[in-house]
Amino acid sequence: MNIHWLKTFIKAAETENFRQASEVLYITQPAVTKHIQRLEDELNIQLFERTGKSVK
């Protein structure tokens, strides 16, 4: 597990938006998506409920 994935998860959970999380973390939105996907794969669970542009 990568510490960057966890930091990305925390910021995405705080903002409830991958784009906003990417801006705060100074990474691209696709990178945020990839970090979350890799973390979900590693933990074998879905971490967010995705609805349109927001996540919960």
Tens digit of each residue's pLDDT (9 = 90 or more) over 5-39:
999 999 999 999 999 999 999 999 999 999 999 99
The enclosing domain of 45 has a CATH number of 1.10.10.10
At residue 25, the pLDDT reads 98
Q: What is the DSSP string of 9-23?
A: HHHHHHHT-HHHHHH
**Domain carrying residue 12:** 3-55
How far is 44 from 40, CA to CA, in rounded Å?
Answer: 5
At residue 2, the pLDDT reads 93
How far is 49 from 56, CA to CA, in rounded Å?
Answer: 5
- Quote the number of domains for the chain: 1
CA distances to 20, 44, 45 from 11, rounded to whole Å, are 9, 20, 18
Which runs of consecutive H residues, i.e. helices, occur in 1-56?
3-15, 18-25, 29-43
Structure confidence at residue 54 as a pLDDT band (50, 70, 90)? confident
